[in-house]
Chain A
Amino acid sequence: MSWRHGEDGRVGAISIEYLDRLYSYALVLTGNPAEAEGLVEKTYVHALRVMGQPWPCGNMKGWLFTILRGAWLNQLREPRKDPQMAGTEVVDGAANCIVEPSMCSRDIYASKVEAEQVRWAFHELPSDLREIVFLREYEDFSYQEIACVLEDSVVTVMSRLARARAKLREMLSTAAARAIHLE
């Protein structure tokens, strides 16, 4: 199954190409796997309903991310039955299992520790900074695309990204110093 779109940039069919990416974004926003699944389902249902309309962020991926974020914002406005803070439940990703086959065991260990530190630092970021790092570093969105998804200015995107990176560097160097001290 794949997306088809005409020359005018309109969607003609649906695909699950972006499913993992949308699920990751939903988890970054909610921190809760069940809520993330619900958000992704809402996103696809909405996308199917409005299929054929122009993409507001210039491409299908940005369009889907915008729908997902809109669904999340609507959800935040609804009264909650089981309040949870974003980012408190999910720490370990499926990617923990991914290693290069050619690596020796020491390299695998070092690589795993490094990846765990990075994910720890990422999840320790305040939610707005975590979101911006995700959109840029994990999803490769341009500043303009991020601004469109967040419905904010490019200047805000740039300054928030700079703050997020500074914070990440600080946390990772503290973690690295602590690891050296423990060795």
Chain B
Amino acid sequence: MMKGCDRYRAATQFYLDRELSGSDLEDFLAHLEKCKDCRARLEAEEKLSALLHRSRPLYLSPDALRLRITHAAEAFHDVIAHEAGLRVDRL
């Protein structure tokens, strides 16, 4: 392990989560070029992330729920449209 690797432990996670930018990103990538241990850590993190991504999606909503939500939204918009019509009539 290279000196100062602890400093890059958090950066590995930020890099993985696309939260690293600018000079921090450049610094991390430069360190990664030189440090085998940090590359191995990043690979392990990427592997875990890929595993989770491969198990997406977790769940699909039931059709009945989809139908209820769609009807509720349509009914709501009908009410809004009706009220808007009434307001126009009053003018």
State the A residues within 8 Å of B (CB).
1, 13-14, 16, 19-24, 27-28, 33, 37, 40-41, 44-45, 48, 90, 93-95, 98, 111, 114-115, 118-119, 122, 133-134, 136-138, 142-143, 158, 161-162, 165, 168-169, 172
Contacts and interface: CB of A to CB of B under 8 A. Distances in A.
Given A40-B65, A48-B76, A133-B52, A1 B70 contact: yes
B70 A172 contact: no
B69 A44 contact: yes
Nearest to B19: A143
Interface in B52-91: 52-62, 65-66, 68-70, 72-74, 76-77
Interface residues on B, range: 20 to 34
B33 interface: no
Contacts of A134: 58
Contacts of A24: 57-59
A58 to B, nearest CB: 16
Contacts, number: 112
Contacts of A142: 17-19
6 contacts: A23-B61, A24-B59, A41-B69, A48-B73, A95-B59, A114-B54
The A contact surface, by secondary structure, is helix
Contact of A169 (B13, B18, B48): B48
Contacts of B56: 95, 138
A138 B52 contact: yes
Nearest to B12: A162
Nearest to B53: A137
Contacts of B77: 13-14
B26 interface: no
Contacts of A168: 48, 52
Given A16-B73, A48-B72, A93-B60, 7 more contacts: A20-B61, A41-B65, A44-B72, A95-B57, A114-B54, A122-B58, A169-B48
A172 B48 contact: yes
A16 B54 contact: no
A21 B52 CA distance: 15
A137 B66 contact: no
B44 interface: yes
Given A44-B69, A48-B76, A136 B60 contact: no
Contacts of A94: 57, 59-60
Nearest to A133: B52
Nearest to A47: B73
